[in-house]
Amino acid sequence: MKIRIYLLAVFLFFVCLSLVHAQEYGKIRAMQQRADHVIKLKNDFVSQVLTSYTIPHERNAQGTVVRIYNDGQWLAVTAIEIVPVLNEAPDKHQQVAAHELLFYTAQGMLDLVSELTVR
C-alpha cells in the first residue's frame, strides 16, 4: 500500500511540474509577443515622425530605421532615443505634450521634436 501511495505521489509531482512548466512557457510567450508589439509601435512611430519632417529614411526587415538622409548624405543610425516632453497640468499631474527623438550617427546627432503620439 505504501508503494502505491509513493508512486502516486511521484506521478502527481511530475504531472504538476509539467503543468507549472507549461504555464511559465505561456507567460514567457505572452511577454515576448507584447515586447514584439511594443517594438513595432516604436519603429512605426519613429518612421511616422521622419515622414512628417519629410526626411528620407530606410528601414530593415524588422522595421527599425537604419539610415536617414541628412545634409545630402545617407547616415547610418547607431541608436535612437525617444524622450517624452512633459507639461504639468493644473491638477499637478504631468502629461506628455510631445516627444523628442534623438538619432545618433557616426557624424553626429539629429534632434527632432514631434507632437505625434505613440499609438
pLDDT tens string 2-45: 777 766 666 666 666 665 566 676 777 888 999 999 999 999 99
Instruction: Give the SS3 label for residue 44.
Output: helix
pLDDT at 111 over 90: yes
| CA distances to 20, 29, 53 from 50, in Å | 45, 32, 5
Can you tell me the distance from the alpha carbon of 17 to that of 32, in angstroms, rounded to the nearest whole number? 23
Q: Domain extents for the chain?
A: 2-114
CA angle 87, 101, 77 (to 5 degrees): 170
Q: Note the pLDDT tens digit of each residue in 75-97.
A: 999 999 999 998 887 887 888 88
R_g of the chain, CA atoms, integer Å: 24
